[in-house]
């Protein structure tokens, strides 16, 4: 039987940490993409909310709050969980030819580090939702 609990608590400090890391990493990404000729289309608010509640939160609860925590919440567990996280996106490559799906390993390292430093799924959830939203905004502009 699995024991333990998921580390989930709202704290302003942890939420701000998630927001600041998101800004520090995603603004340069956005700038680079925008200035390399890629189009950018804002996602509707409902899509952003879905990214937060329907995608990012459950994935972070499982991958960081459960798996990473059970593996010891160490640098090794961050890498291990990030490999598993990117493999979960393999169907995107297989069925849609979306090679960018495999790049999820790198933001997963950031999410793992956020969890390791805070022992809280809120900061990686914020970063996860922000990263998905930025990436999908560029992807939506291409289609």
**What pLDDT is recorded for position 40?**
72
Q: What is the DSSP letter of 90?
A: H
Give the C-alpha separation, 40 to 138, whole Å. 5
What is the predicted pLDDT for the residue at 142? 57
Confidence band, pLDDT 50/70/90 cuts, at residue 47: very high
User: What is the arithmetic mean of pLDDT over 31-36?
Assistant: 82
Q: In terms of pLDDT, which residue wins out, 95 or 123?
A: 123
**pLDDT over 90 percentage in the chain:** 64
φ, ψ dihedrals at 3, nearest 5°: -125, 165
Separation of alpha carbons 55 and 131, rounded Å: 12
* More confident of the two residues 33 and 70: 70
CA gap 20, 18 in Å, rounded = 6
- Give yes or no for residue 1 having a pLDDT over 50: no
Q: How far apart are CA 6 and CA 123, in angstroms?
A: 14
pLDDT band at 125 (very low <50, low <70, confident <90, very high): very high
What pLDDT, on a 0 to 100 scale, did the predictor assign at position 104?
A: 92
Name the least confident of 49-53, 97-101, 105-109, 116-120. Answer: 97-101
Is residue 114 within 8 Å of 17, Cβ to Cβ?
yes
* pLDDT (0 to 100) of residue 30: 87
- Model confidence at 139: pLDDT above 80: no
pTM of the predicted protein model: 0.89
Considering only CA atoms, which of 123, 131, 127 is closest in space to residue 11? 123
The average pLDDT across 97-102 equals 79
């Amino acid at each position: 039987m699995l024991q333990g609990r998921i580390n989930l608590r709202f704290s302003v400090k942890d939420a701000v940490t998630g927001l600041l890391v998101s800004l520090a990493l995603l603004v340069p990404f956005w700038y680079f993409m925008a200035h390399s000729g890629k189009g950018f289309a804002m996602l509707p608010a409902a899509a952003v909310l879905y990214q937060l509640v329907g995608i990012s939160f459950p994935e972070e609860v499982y991958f960081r709050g459960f798996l990473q925590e059970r593996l010891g919440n160490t640098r090794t567990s961050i890498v291990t969980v990030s490999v598993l996280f990117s493999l979960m996106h393999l169907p995107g490559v297989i069925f849609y030819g979306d090679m960018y799906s495999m790049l999820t390993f790198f933001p997963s390292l950031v999410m793992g580090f956020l969890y390791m430093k805070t022992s809280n799924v809120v900061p990686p959830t914020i970063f996860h939702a922000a990263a998905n939203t930025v990436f999908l905004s560029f992807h939506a502009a291409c289609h």
